[in-house]
């Protein structure tokens, strides 16, 4: 087991990629804290994990609110004694261009998708430093943060910020034996903020010839939070089925089988 006895806190773990991660991490021996703003969704995942014989709790709160974040951390530390792994997965998106976007929606997306990883990491890293045994932090980015797109102006800005935030965090936390990396998916599982039933209806053009799954991302995440990636710092692991690799190809060469 790659994570035996370790404590993993995963935000936005009530669905899709977050849910797949906590299921895999638990199977690899981790104690799980499901961080969610939706109590029913989060508790459902916790109940599933507990029924499967895993040690799991719900850490309820809004990642963009400092008081909520501190309470989440207290909940985890009181139950498990510390935190070894953090995955900043919680995010919301928009579908607006800069011309039809609203300031209110822009602020909300930035608060949850970019400020959230900043706040949660700030307070979890302080806890890891107090523990004195290092830790691993993984931020979830997106291909939307690496290329321009016709909509999602706030989401593109937030995810681009997450990628460089990761590099800065890696530099600043490495002296405390805390490794920070990020993972960049593309069209894996269900869309951000939408029901899992939408997962099979998404269009795609990639080299893999299939849609990504939440499990694809969970397996990559396991690598980045385990000792298998012990020499990896500040990296952005792109798990996109080859979308970015083929970005400049003529469309007739794209694989869509």
> What is the set of active-site residues?
155
Residues 6 or more apart whose CB falls under 8 angstroms from that of 250 comprise: none
Q: Which value, to the nearest 10 degrees, does the dihedral of the CA atoms of residues 201, 97, 216, 223 take?
A: -170
Residues 6 or more apart whose CB falls under 8 angstroms from that of 242 comprise: 206, 207, 208, 255
Q: How far apart are CA 39 and CA 14, in angstroms?
A: 9
- Which three-class secondary structure state does DSSP give residue 77? helix
Q: How far apart are CA 185 and CA 182, in angstroms?
A: 10
């Amino acid at each position: 087991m790659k994570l035996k006895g370790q404590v993993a806190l995963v935000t936005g773990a009530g669905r899709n990629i977050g849910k797949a991660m906590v299921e895999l991490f638990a199977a690899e021996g981790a104690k799980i804290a499901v961080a969610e703003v939706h109590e029913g969704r989060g508790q459902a995942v916790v109940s599933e994990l507990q029924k499967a014989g895993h040690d799991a709790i719900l850490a309820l709160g809004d990642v963009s609110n400092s008081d909520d974040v501190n309470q989440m951390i207290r909940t985890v530390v009181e139950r498990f004694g510390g935190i070894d792994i953090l995955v900043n997965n919680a995010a919301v998106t928009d579908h607006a261009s800069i011309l039809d976007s609203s300031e209110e929606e822009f602020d909300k997306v930035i608060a949850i998708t970019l400020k959230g990883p900043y706040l949660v990491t700030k307070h979890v890293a302080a806890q890891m430093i107090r523990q004195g045994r290092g830790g691993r932090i993984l931020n979830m980015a997106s291909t939307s943060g690496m290329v321009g797109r016709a909509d999602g102006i706030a989401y593109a800005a937030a995810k681009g910020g997450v990628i460089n935030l990761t590099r800065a965090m890696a530099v600043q936390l490495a002296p405390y034996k805390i490794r920070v990396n990020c993972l960049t998916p593309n069209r894996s599982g269900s869309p951000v903020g939408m029901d899992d039933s939408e997962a099979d209806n998404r269009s795609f053009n990639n080299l893999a010839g299939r849609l990504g799954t939440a499990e694809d991302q969970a397996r990559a995440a396991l690598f980045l939070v385990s000792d298998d990636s012990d020499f990896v710092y500040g990296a952005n692991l792109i798990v996109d089925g080859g979308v970015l690799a083929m970005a400049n190809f003529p469309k007739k060469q794209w694989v869509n089988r």
